[in-house]
A and B are shown apart, each in its own frame.
Chain A
């Protein structure tokens, strides 16, 4: 059995009327990237804050490398590091000053602290910005100094709370690369995100949480398989034929067919789980039936369901609902 970096059972945190975390059970194997996926307000940050000893649970238990986060908080603090949603460095100080400050607080003597700071700035491409106040850093640079600060003493478990929220694509890719390297060096990473493709790309296991509860858990592949073999995406030449196409597809695929915002597009999820071969055969038959009915198809694709679709299926609402509302 592999060692567990995090183990929680029935974890609860209540803020007034709001049960932010409501009986959460997590098991995070050591040495992997573990994704905690959920929309805003699902309880991801609250759960991470309890695991990082910043919040006291109202119920249940949480252990980090076997140590209780309440009773053994100091021991947990020695082994974990947190990069929060907002910059967890002092914005009034320069990058170098921040690293020296944190190095000193972790027992480095003055010269050693400066050496360690210089080494980290170099590794994170921030040497040129060493003497600038962090408030003048770009978003990507801020994230990097933040992560540098988190690995000052290489932690056994690194919490990254929505590490790429608000970053441009290039900076996001840099963060992803850093995460992969950090894990390859033996640190467990627990990553919260509301971006499904981020969890898909980085995490070896994913927990989907909503309203403070675990609603699904597994490898990205298992999660996708659990809701059906895949989806059929169809684009027609003529929007007028869409209703007819919907009837044909729904009959052949034996599944509800969704009309997209684009007036010529339809999507259907193939109902049964597991059997990819059967799914492909049925999709092929559906395509033939469309042609037989005189419906002109411009594009026909059979794909694995995206994690977006997984989320939709699990929660009956889109994962990005908050973003649409904003």
Chain B
């Protein structure tokens, strides 16, 4: 491979005619739409997965581990049997795993800024949020993979949602939509913080309390009152209630409305902050 590299370097002589031919000043294609530019950045995220498939480890092995761990470790003690517990915990575990992996968006943004390619994107006359939306579109694919992996493991272990296929699909759709909104927190931190490590650090500090102090693992009624206040106010609890209700075939409109409002607020606040940082960087 390196031999080829050397040959290409040494034999290349810039030819005026060939170069002049590519330096045309013909009519430029029209500026791409916001959607088309975002999808193109999403395509870039897919190419990165193609070239570095190891990065799918966190959306495959990690969720499998979580499912097995919590089902078998706590199932017997908390719900009498692992299969009973699985019916309760799996929708929540899905939410936890996906919310956890949203932080890699921040890491990806941060790593990109360190490199010159970000400058290139910022000097292109395109819809400004497109690179950010592109990251998130690529990440939605990752969230989908993680959800399907967990669903498969769950089904094998005995997860039998009464909402059927429709309920499960709707549940996963709500989860992925919410994660899209939630990821804007990390695009902001990715632009704000100096290093990849600090992005990871902040993400952990936010994500651990947010996912564990929720209704994912146990019914909040078993908790001390002061903790119940936090757990019941935690947006992750509402998300989990909404997904559970959809998968159980009894949609909880109250929780669904709260999830929708939370998602819109997240995009409005963190999307705006992200774009301010992106433009000022």
Binding site for B on A (CB under 8 A): 49, 52-54, 56, 74, 77-78, 80-82, 84-93, 97, 101-102, 104-109, 112, 119-120, 122-126, 128-129, 132-133, 136-138, 140-141, 144, 149, 151, 153-154, 170-171, 174, 177-178, 181-182, 184-187
CB <8 Å contact, B19 and A123: yes
CB <8 Å contact, B22 and A119: yes
Contact of A106 among B5, B28, B116 (CB under 8 A): B28
**B1-40 contact mask (Cβ, 8 Å, vs A): 1 or 0:** 1001110111111111011111111001111100011001
CB <8 Å contact, B115 and A86: yes
How distant is A310 from chain B, measured CB to nearest CB, in Å? 29
CB <8 Å contact, B120 and A128: no
**CA A49 to CA B120, docked complex, whole Å:** 11
Known A107-B32, A181-B14; further 20 A-B contacts with Cβ < 8 A: A53-B122, A54-B281, A77-B124, A78-B125, A82-B119, A88-B120, A101-B47, A104-B43, A105-B41, A106-B124, A107-B29, A108-B29, A119-B21, A124-B12, A124-B14, A124-B19, A154-B25, A174-B13, A174-B14, A178-B19
28 pairs, CB–CB < 8 Å, chain A vs chain B: A49-B119, A77-B123, A77-B125, A81-B123, A84-B119, A84-B120, A90-B117, A91-B115, A92-B47, A104-B32, A105-B40, A105-B124, A105-B130, A107-B30, A123-B15, A125-B8, A128-B4, A129-B4, A129-B5, A129-B8, A137-B5, A138-B5, A174-B13, A174-B14, A181-B14, A182-B19, A184-B16, A186-B25
CB <8 Å contact, B5 and A141: yes
CB <8 Å contact, B22 and A105: no
CB <8 Å contact, A125 and B31: no
**CA A99 to CA B5, docked complex, whole Å:** 19
How distant is B30 from chain A, measured CB to nearest CB, in Å? 5
Binding site for A on B (CB under 8 A): 1, 4-6, 8-16, 18-25, 28-32, 36-37, 40-41, 43-44, 47-48, 51-52, 115-117, 119-126, 130, 280-281
How distant is A246 from chain B, measured CB to nearest CB, in Å? 47
Contact of A178 among B9, B14, B37, B52 (CB under 8 A): B14
CB <8 Å contact, B32 and A133: no
Q: A residues within 8 A CB of B117?
A: 87-91
How distant is B230 from chain A, measured CB to nearest CB, in Å? 39
Nearest B residue to A97 via CB reads B47
How distant is B197 from chain A, measured CB to nearest CB, in Å? 20
Q: B residues within 8 A CB of A128?
A: 4, 8
Q: B residues within 8 A CB of A49?
A: 119
CB <8 Å contact, B32 and A105: yes
Contact of A153 among B28, B37, B122 (CB under 8 A): B28
Nearest B residue to A52 via CB reads B123
Q: A residues within 8 A CB of B36?
A: 104
How distant is A283 from chain B, measured CB to nearest CB, in Å? 40
Known: A93-B44, A138-B9. A185 touches B23 (CB 8 A): yes
**CA A140 to CA B7, docked complex, whole Å:** 12
Known: A52-B123, A107-B32, A133-B51. A101 touches B23 (CB 8 A): no
Q: A residues within 8 A CB of B44?
A: 90, 93, 101
Known: A90-B117, A106-B32. A123 touches B8 (CB 8 A): no
How distant is B128 from chain A, measured CB to nearest CB, in Å? 9
**CA A82 to CA B21, docked complex, whole Å:** 21
Contact of B20 among A101, A120, A141, A184 (CB under 8 A): A184
How distant is A133 from chain B, measured CB to nearest CB, in Å? 6
How distant is A105 from chain B, measured CB to nearest CB, in Å? 6
Known: A138-B5, A187-B23. A89 touches B51 (CB 8 A): no
Nearest A residue to B29 via CB reads A107
Known: A93-B48, A140-B9, A170-B10. A120 touches B22 (CB 8 A): yes
**CA A84 to CA B120, docked complex, whole Å:** 8
**CA A174 to CA B11, docked complex, whole Å:** 11
How distant is A177 from chain B, measured CB to nearest CB, in Å? 4
CB <8 Å contact, B11 and A125: yes
**CA A77 to CA B8, docked complex, whole Å:** 32
Q: B residues within 8 A CB of A89?
A: 116-117, 120
**CA A320 to CA B118, docked complex, whole Å:** 30
Nearest A residue to B40 via CB reads A104
CB <8 Å contact, B280 and A56: yes
Q: A residues within 8 A CB of B122?
A: 53-54
Q: A residues within 8 A CB of B32?
A: 104-107
Nearest B residue to A89 via CB reads B117
**CA A84 to CA B130, docked complex, whole Å:** 21
Q: B residues within 8 A CB of A141?
A: 5, 8-9
Contact of B52 among A54, A92, A170, A182 (CB under 8 A): A92
**CA A39 to CA B86, docked complex, whole Å:** 65
Nearest B residue to A179 via CB reads B14
Q: B residues within 8 A CB of A90?
A: 44, 48, 115, 117
Q: A residues within 8 A CB of B25?
A: 154, 186
Known: A77-B124, A125-B11. A101 touches B29 (CB 8 A): no
CB <8 Å contact, B47 and A93: yes
**CA A231 to CA B121, docked complex, whole Å:** 47
CB <8 Å contact, A177 and B22: no
**CA A238 to CA B117, docked complex, whole Å:** 57
**CA A91 to CA B44, docked complex, whole Å:** 12
A56, A90, A144, A177: most-surrounded residue (chain B CB, <10 A): A90
Task: Please list the 7 inter-chain residue pairs (A to B) with the smallest Cβ-Cβ separation, ordered nearest first.
Answer: A125-B12, A107-B29, A88-B116, A86-B116, A185-B23, A88-B120, A177-B14
